[in-house]
Structure 1
Amino acid sequence: MARRLIRPRRWTPPRLADPGPTAPLRISRRLPTGGHGPEDVRFDDAGRIMTGLAGGTVVRIDPATGTSAVLASTGGRPLGLWPLAGGGALICDHDRGLLSMSPDGEISALVSPGYRFASNVVAGSDGTIWFTTSTSRWALDEHTGDILEHSCTGRLVRRAPDGTVTTLLTDLKFANGVVLAPDESHLLIAETAGYRIRRHWLTGPDAGRTDTLVGNLPGFPDNMSLGSDGLLWVAIAAPRNPLVDRLLPMPGLLRVLVWNLPERVRPAATPIAWVMAFTMEGKRVHDWRSSDGSYGFVTSVAERDGVVVVGSLTENDVAILDTGDVLG
């Protein structure tokens, strides 16, 4: 099958800064999901882990016992989740858009046409929903094409309680994780291909304005979540690739040539397990990394009462981290 053509856009990434001190990421337990690719992980209101799998199922896992239960099947590829009180959830589905899952597992579409690659979702106290779409050019299994192309076709979308859908931001660099501030004054959006976390103000004198909370990250930020500890937890899928950083500001023909190389010699993600945590003001608190092969390509992280769980697009299990000497 012919490889999709890329349309390279030039961008000069910030020079990679000294990352500062890091700590080892250690796996305490692996919890089988019964499938593959738990891309996003979330704690529900009862402390159970919810995730979506490559086969289309949404499952719930008891972290204490490791037992899992299938809740529903979306008929697509579930990515970001937002658990709702009572056992339901909002689901970003790569194929079907924004979905709602009832407590008994019934799936209904909330926003579908034109919103493929819906990535991550949050809801406000009044029923407003915000979600991201990563790219309008590429599919999940071609996401490296978007990184190399630098398409900047990600979006932040709002669904009002009356069902009205509005695109708030466009031209995002592979929009991914989204977090709502506790006071609902702003949203935080991970721009995976921009190596940064943006802040979009919803209320106050800066309402409608977007700035940067954390920039020049050393890796690709993916899904994010707000922990019970008040920290912003960020999954880092992979370190930045020096070759890609060098190619991005250069004539696009070079990236076209690289994209058309055999896959085995094209730039690829470095295997690593990596999470970071920041205050809501953007100060780094934790930076945990491991390249020992025990887990890899972390695309999500969630914290609740000192328990930290991670998920991955390429693993079969979710993993509970060993945080005993760090979080207490």
Structure 2
Amino acid sequence: MKWLLVGLLVVFLLLGSFLLTPSPIDSKAWDAPSPPAMTGVLAPNERLRLADLLARGEVYGPEDTTIGPDGVLYTGTQDGWIVRVHPDGTVEHWLETGGRPLGLVFDSNGNLIVADAWKGLLSITPQGDITVLTREAEGTPFRFTDDVVIAPDGRIYFTDASSRFQQPDYVLDLLEMRPHGRLLRYNPKTRKTEVLLGNLHFANGVAVSPQGDYVLVNETWKYRILRYWISGPKAGRAEVFADNLPGFPDNLAVDGEGRYWVAFPTLRNPRVDAMHKSPWLKDLVAKLPDSLKPKPQNYGLVVAFDRNGRMLTSLHDTRGTHLQEITSVNPHDGVLYFGSLHNDRIGRLPLQAIPGLGEATP
């Protein structure tokens, strides 16, 4: 009996300590829309399992990919390396950024532009010299530099996913559900950085239209894609491009036919959607160990859209054993390359292997 009382006392003390410990977040309620049915264009298939696997077991977390002027595939990994995968399959750890390289793109001078979650927006010469282009905008430092793309006029569009939480704490940003993300633009000529859109719920992937008249940005926690007009009668305005998506949209890219390819690391989580209605519950969950916080489902998903936001096709790995937690999809010379935040491989799939793809709406 004595040991039972002692045990109960310990439990009450631990519970009291847990309840009295301040939460790391100040969450906000949100009523998530019902997810779309996985039918029609979204009907599950196993097309991602047709992809070849590159650098399998030799990279960890190749979050984004890009093909350089030298024909070599570049990616950034969780341990801070820029890794090169040569056409013959050789994997080379090229250089370390000292941070966590995420979005990658080459500029017209052959420099690799990197959105580094910890270091900001970087430029790396072919010789491996690193320059920090920008680390803050309007007095607010970047805390989670995420994706990057270059417009036809040379200006660089990129995202700061959250001005409050850094990369390891992205789940806290999800639970808090407050708009800490920004869409930004860097001008290499003036070296000035400006905020185009603020108050975004995790600003993630970016893609500029082939004509350079608008940029798309994924608002991950809201399950939607926004279109920000760069030029034309709507210049400076934003609108919803695609809404109520089947998962959490991450990076996106446009192919030569004007199709926008969007990577989804995981499907919607009904428990997370339900929790969003109860801020007090989210505040408690945020205090739990990471092992008890919501986890992504092992699933591979990529969806293609036309320029009007209409879904064209989807690629799945329903078991998530071949390609899962896909964070980027990059078209190049008729081939799609798939990156992942935590996987140990890069996927490669020819567009011609995708049945009934058709062409994008002009």
Q: Please, which of 309, 315, 321 is the counterpart of residue 337 of structure 2?
A: 309
Contact 2:23–2:284 under 8 Å retained in 1: no
- Counterpart for residue 13 of structure 2: none
Kindly tell me: are residues 159 and 276 of structure 1, through their superposed partners in 2, closer, same or farther at Cα, counting changes over 3 Å?
same
Deviates more, 1:103-112 or 1:76-85: 76-85
**Residues in 2 aligned to 1:231 and 1:306: alpha-carbon distance in whole angstroms:** 12
Unaligned runs of 5+ in 1: none
Query: What is the aligned partner in structure 2 of residue 53 from structure 1?
Result: 77
- The CA deviation at 1:303 is 1.6
Please give the alpha-carbon distance, in whole angstroms, between the structure 2 residues aligned to 1:85 and 1:58. 19
Q: Distance in 2 between matches of 1:87 and 1:318?
A: 23
Which residue among 140, 164, 174 is the counterpart of 2:167? 140
* Superposition map of 1:1-328 within 5 A: 5-21=24-40, 22=43, 23-24=45-46, 25-32=48-55, 34-45=58-69, 47-62=71-86, 64-85=87-108, 87-113=110-136, 114-160=141-187, 161-250=189-278, 252-292=279-319, 293-321=321-349, 324-326=352-354
Residue type of the partner of 1:78?
Answer: P
Structure 2: gaps spanning 5 or more residues: 1-20, 358-362
- Counterpart of 1:123, as a letter, is I
Match of 2:8 in 1: none
| Contact 1:135–1:151, Cα closer than 8 Å, also in 2 | no
User: Aligned in 2, Cα 1:309/1:240: closer, same or farther, shift over 3 Å?
Assistant: same
Equivalenced residue count is 325
Structure 1 residue 262 displacement after superposition: 4.3
- Does the 8 A contact of 1:44 with 1:83 survive in 2? yes
* More strand by percentage: 1
Q: Distance in 1 between matches of 2:256 and 2:69?
A: 11
Q: Give the Cα separation in 2 of the matches to 1:13 and 1:212.
A: 16
- 1:121-150 CA-partner distances (Å, limit 9, x unpaired): 112233311110101121211111111111
Q: What amino acid is aligned across from residue 205 of structure 1 in structure 2? A: P
Give the Cα–Cα distance (whole angstroms) in 1 for the partners of residues 145 and 339 of structure 2.
Answer: 18
TM, length-normalised to structure 1: 0.92
Give the aligned partner of residue 17 of structure 2.
none
How many angstroms apart in 2 are the aligned matches of 1:88 and 1:307? 23
**For residues 166 and 322 of structure 1, do their structure 2 counterparts lie closer, same or farther at Cα, with a shift above 3 Å needed?**
closer
Give the fraction of aligned pairs with identical amino acids, expressed as a percent: 35
Which string of whole-angstrom CA distances, capped at 9 and with x for unpartnered residues, describes residues 21-58 of structure 1? Answer: 33322143221174311111123345432211122221
Aligned partners of 1:233, 1:48: CA distance in 2, in Å?
21
Q: Distance in 2 between matches of 1:285 and 1:46?
A: 32
Task: Deviation per CA, 1:171-214: give whole Å up to 9, x if none.
Answer: 10100000011111100001110100100001111011100111
- Of structures 1 and 2, the larger Rg is shown by 2
Q: Bigger shift: 70-79 or 197-206?
A: 70-79
What's the CA shift for 1:4? 6.3
Cα separation, partners in 2 of 1:157 and 1:266, compared to 1, 3 Å: same
Which structure dedicates a bigger proportion of its chain to helix? 2
> Partners in 1 of 2:224 and 2:69 — Cα distance?
29
Structure 2 counterpart of 1:117, which letter?
F
Q: Which segment drifts farther, 252-261 or 139-148?
A: 252-261
> In the TM superposition, what is the alpha-carbon distance from 1:164 to its structure 2 partner?
1.4
Cα distance, 1:324–1:164 mapped onto 2, change above 3 Å: closer
Contact 1:135 / 1:153 at 8 angstroms: preserved in 2? yes
Amino acid at match of 1:9: K
Change (3 A) 1:85 1:60: farther
Q: Secondary structure at the match of 1:18?
A: coil
Aligned mates of 1:291, 1:10 — CA distance in 2: 31
